[in-house]
Amino acid sequence: MSLLRAPLQGTVSWVPEIGSKIPAGRPVIVIESMKMEHDVTHDESIEVVDLHVAVGATVAEGQALIEVRPADVESTAADTSKDVARLDLSEVVERHERGLDESRSNAIARRRETGRRSARENLSALVEPGSFVEYGPLVVAAQRRRRSLDELIDKTPADGLVGGIGEINGRSDDRVNRRAVVMSYDYTVLAGTQGQQNHRKKDRLFDVAERLRLPVVLFAEGGGGRPGDTDGLGVSGLDCWAFHDFARLSGLVPLVGITGGFCFAGNAALLGCCDVVIALEGSNIGMGGPAMIEGGGLGVHAPEAIGPTAVQFANGVVDVVVEDDAEAVAIAKKYLDFFQCRRSSFAAPPVEALRDVVPVDRKKPYDIRRVVDGLFDVDSVLELRRGFGAGMLTALARLEGMTVGVVANDPRHLAGAIDSDGADKAARFMQLCDAFDVPIVTLVDTPGMMVGPDVEETALVRHCSRLFVTGVNVSVPVVSVVIRKSYGLGAQAMMAGSTKAPLACVAWPTGEFGGMGLEGAVRLGYRRELAAIVDADEREATFQQMVDRMYEHGKAVSVATHFEIDDVIDPADTRRWLVTILGSWDPPPRMDRKRPNIDTW
């Protein structure tokens, strides 16, 4: 015979009867300690001979509990405890499934009728399969005072915001952190409005993004604030942290905003905080929706009349317009890829074609996008804000797999002169590049800052100065290539303040330089001499001779002899120059933001 002793301190909650035979491994006695029931077992089958304790007795560790002896116990039914249905697990599985698209056929069917994907489908297309972990999928709208819990589970899954962490553009097994915080308002749930609980979910995810330094992709479609939540205390709701926390991420991590359909009020405010805004054709974006406009006494307007895509693309709110959800996701992935790693594989364009882009006639325009496509890796260019500031091109691209930012004058608009919109567009893009250690290539072809009474009404002095202040103070490398015209303050602004400010400033053979445009310089500098020539034909011929003489003096080869620029190069050699200079730069490790934020404008 032997004694079984207490393995821990506690209270006896069950004992067998004397004479009971118990198979090996089954509970001989049960002790409750700190709200947990501990089974005391024996390695062999035994028979109970005597009890030293009773139910309710408090025992100390090592105290004798029960006297037993070996016994032959006939085979009993196998332990089926593992086959017993886990009701707790079943409940969790069922609750998660009720929030999935498959369980919401009517709502998803209505979404299909608009030609749109669901929130979960967009996120699934964005992240790698199996990589998504979701925060708060069991949350429901804060409306328990007006609806049953069962109805809230069915009608307000995730409180209209699906969000979590997933991997984008490949898995992290290549040691590149490709994870991002991704979230989408669900327009099938209360029109994608911002409720108490989904505000709290955003707060949580924005905090995670800040602590882990993860990019954020936000699908922002929705109607703004939700007035129908009833739970909790409060009056205005202005103490919510979502807008504060999201704005804090500016300049720290890349922020991508996507919208389609209606995006009003709070949803639009979050969208406007993003570094890049991608909008579907037919979207409407506004800081106030129809109800807010009518409530402000400003009339009744259909939602389709508020901030349509054409307006928001032309005024610079939207960076990229796409046809559908699939293209929006593809552009978001391409944008984020620029900030994830240097590509090891790439295709170089036929650089010899660059020799024929600029016309022989110096007064004829050309398409600057042919220059961009001819310089950078094939299919790597992503132009931003194309609808706004037509005289300035801004784009992300790759150069032998390395991410670069491109700022270029477009001679087809105002001959490349820099107006207020163009200056704002370029300055803001430079901030974006600087914040995330992206070197900048400027392609210069400008007669200078735009002039005239009309343009001064746009506050040109301040806007153009923004380009100087930003360009001079970026810490990333800048390389400038003068394609043709390089005149006056506009040219200096494109070169971060001076031809000697960039790490390299080179020109194509078509390059020409001066303090102002040649024709204007002649008319101003030789006004008296020209006015003294009576014959109009002779006057025009003399004028052209003076212009030609100034061109010879200011053309790129002449300027290079004075070492105002670093070289005049074969256009086909431009890519090699860029790779040599920019490939020599290794950005320092960065744990915190470089800039306080990126200007939203």
**CA 336 – CA 431 distance, rounded (Å):** 17
pLDDT at position 80 is 52
pLDDT of residue 480: 98
Whether 349 has a pLDDT exceeding 70, the answer reads: yes
Partners of residue 255 on adjacent β-strands: 216
Span 351-511+556-582 CATH architecture = Alpha-Beta Complex (3.90)
Report the SS3 class of residue 563: coil
pLDDT at 82 over 80: no
d(CA 275, CA 431): 10
Residue with tokens 């307000």: 156
Nearest-angstrom CA–CA distance, 576 and 276? 30
Q: Where residue 535 falls among pLDDT bands split at 50, 70, 90?
A: confident
CB burial of residue 360 (10 Å; 0-12, 13-18, 19+): exposed
> Taking the model in full, what pTM does it have?
0.88
Q: What are phi and psi of 280, to 5 degrees?
A: -75, 150
Q: Is 237 left (phi over 0), alpha (psi -120 to 50) or beta?
A: left
Per CATH, 89-337 and 351-511+556-582 having the same topology is answered yes
Whether the predicted pLDDT of 139 surpasses 70: yes
d(CA 427, CA 416): 16
Helices (H), 114-173: 119-126, 149-155
Mean pLDDT over residues 154-172, rounded?
Answer: 93
For residue 9, the 8-state DSSP code is S
pLDDT tens by residue, 106-118: 999 999 999 999 9
Grade residue 167 by pLDDT with cuts at 50, 70 and 90. Answer: very high
- Mean pLDDT score across all residues of the chain: 93
Q: To the nearest whole percent, how much of the chain has pLDDT over 70?
A: 97
Least confident of 172-176, 273-277, 496-500, 582-586: 172-176
Q: How far apart are CA 417 and CA 491, in angstroms?
A: 9
Give the pLDDT of residue 317.
98
CA distance 325 to 150: 31
pLDDT at 595: 92
C-alpha–C-alpha distance, residues 571 and 463, integer Å: 32
| Predicted local distance difference test score (pLDDT) of residue 172 | 61
263-320 tens-digit pLDDT: 999 999 999 999 999 999 999 999 998 888 888 899 999 999 999 999 999 999 999 9
CATH value of 2-76 in 3.40.630.30, 3.90.1310.10, 1.10.3720.10, 2.40.50.100: 2.40.50.100
Neighbours of 341 (CB within 10 A): 16
Q: Where are the domains of the chain?
A: 2-76, 89-337, 351-511+556-582, 516-554
Express each pLDDT in 366-412 by its tens digit: 999 999 999 999 999 999 999 999 999 999 999 999 999 999 999 99
Q: Are 493 and 427 in contact (CB under 8 A)?
A: no
Give CA separation, 461 vs 8, 21, 473, in Å. 82, 98, 19
Q: How confident is the model at residue 170 (pLDDT cuts 50, 70, 90)?
A: confident
Handedness of CA 133, 135, 137, 138 (dihedral sign): positive
pLDDT at position 84 is 64
User: If you ran DSSP here, which 8-state letter would residue 588 be given?
Assistant: P
pLDDT band with cut points at 50, 70 and 90 for residue 530 = confident
Task: State pLDDT tens for residues 12-38.
Answer: 999 999 999 999 989 999 999 999 999
- Average pLDDT for 520-547: 81
Residue 75 pLDDT exceeds 60 = no
Q: What was the pLDDT predicted at 76?
A: 59
Alpha carbon 217 to its chain centroid, in Å, reads 5
CA of 183: how far to CAs of 17, 256, 509, in Å? 60, 11, 50
Q: Does domain 89-337 have CATH number 3.90.226.10?
A: yes
95: amino acid identity, one letter: R
Q: Is residue 153 scored above 70 in pLDDT?
A: yes
pLDDT the model gives residue 77:
53
**Confidence at residue 81, expressed as pLDDT on a 0 to 100 scale:** 54
* SS3 state at 130: coil
DSSP 101: G
What is the pLDDT at residue 553? 76
Average pLDDT over residues 331-338: 97
Average pLDDT over residues 157-165: 97
pLDDT tens-digit map of 199-240? 999 999 999 999 999 999 999 999 998 888 888 767 777 888
Q: How far is CA 197 from CA 42, 254, 350, 496, in A?
A: 51, 25, 54, 47
| pLDDT reported for residue 165 | 98
